[in-house]
Amino acid sequence: MVRHLGISNQALHKQLANLLASGVIEKTGRAPRVFYSISKASKVEIKTDALVSDMEKFVNANYLYITPDGRKLSGTEGFIFWCGRHKLPIVKTAHEYVRTLEPYLKLRKNNLLDGTKKIANTFDKLWLDKLYYLDFYSIERFGKTKLGQLVLYAKQSQDRKIIAELIAEVMPKISVLAENGGYDAVGFVPPSIKREVQLMKELERSSNFNLPILKIEKIATPIRVPQKSLSKLEDRIENARATFVVTDKNHYKKVLLIDDAVGSGATLNELAAKIKGRGIAKKVDSLALVGSLKGFDVISEV
């Protein structure tokens, strides 16, 4: 392109940046192997043709779409792209999105969702005192939430950039609960799938609660059986009971367990049983980045 246009390399990259910002072209890959192509999603004049102001703000605050070819499209850009893929009218679908999501948002108190009733209705013996979520993993029709998308792709891609974005999104909210909830220790649930970059390890390294970290270990079995691969509740309970060990020798009044996603809640409930059974703590609360308020549920992707 430099040869064809007769401009400098620096001038070319400046023009490419302008075209990217205006949505005329899109970029795939990472330096030094970066590919540019004409944008698949035509740029829509948001305020006049697509979404009215208040609705635009709502979509920008809550929507995220990650395309099948790995592009992260936030807010109205992602929503318009998603509508285009499904041949849906933008304004009407945006109204439906607001009506679908708003009732879920109203369930939040102090930026937290209370999932305690979910697990109380799931297990015969509840060891956890409280279960909180930062957000739902997915909602009907529109699929994964913004945080649900970030959790899924942070774990699957092991991309440090996405993990850093996720941590920046959740850590302030986690810190508020950890520092103001009366806890004297925090525990991070160890990952059950071997990955080069572990989301939970990165989350633990980024924490700065001035609280002791509860020592929890995942036992390496001859064949690793991830929780997400088990569809029966009793199998999930057995897996958690047999493969997680709390090795901490200290004693606390109240601890907070942190996990990335909660499907059934079996892991957190069994860890609470071990903590209380060994007299490590009298009260055990838990916080998941994402989860469901249904009864027994399986989030097999995460």
Q: Lowest-confidence range among 5-9, 77-81, 220-224? A: 220-224
Backbone angles phi, psi at 273, to 5 degrees: -65, -40
Cis peptide before 32 (omega within 30 of 0): yes
As a whole number of angstroms, the distance between CA 267 and CA 240 comes to 5
Please report which residue ranges of 142-293 form alpha helices under DSSP H: 146-157, 160-180, 199-206, 233-243, 266-277
* Intervals of CATH 3.40.50 along the chain: 113-291
**DSSP three-state, residue 216:** strand
Rounded mean pLDDT of the chain?
A: 87
Strand segments (E) across the chain:
25-30, 33-38, 64-66, 72-74, 113-114, 130-136, 138-139, 143-144, 185-188, 216-218, 244-246, 252-262, 281-291
pLDDT for 94: 92
Quickly count: other Cβ atoms within 10 Å of residue 285's Cβ: 22
Longest CA–CA separation in the chain, Å: 75
Overall pTM > 0.85? no
Tens digit of each residue's pLDDT (9 = 90 or more) over 193-241: 888 889 999 999 999 899 999 999 988 777 777 777 777 878 888 888 8
As a whole number of angstroms, the distance between CA 215 and CA 190 comes to 10
Q: Is 113-291 assigned to CATH 2.60.40?
A: no
Tens digit of each residue's pLDDT (9 = 90 or more) over 44-55: 444 434 556 788
Look up residue 124 and give its two tokens.
């015969």
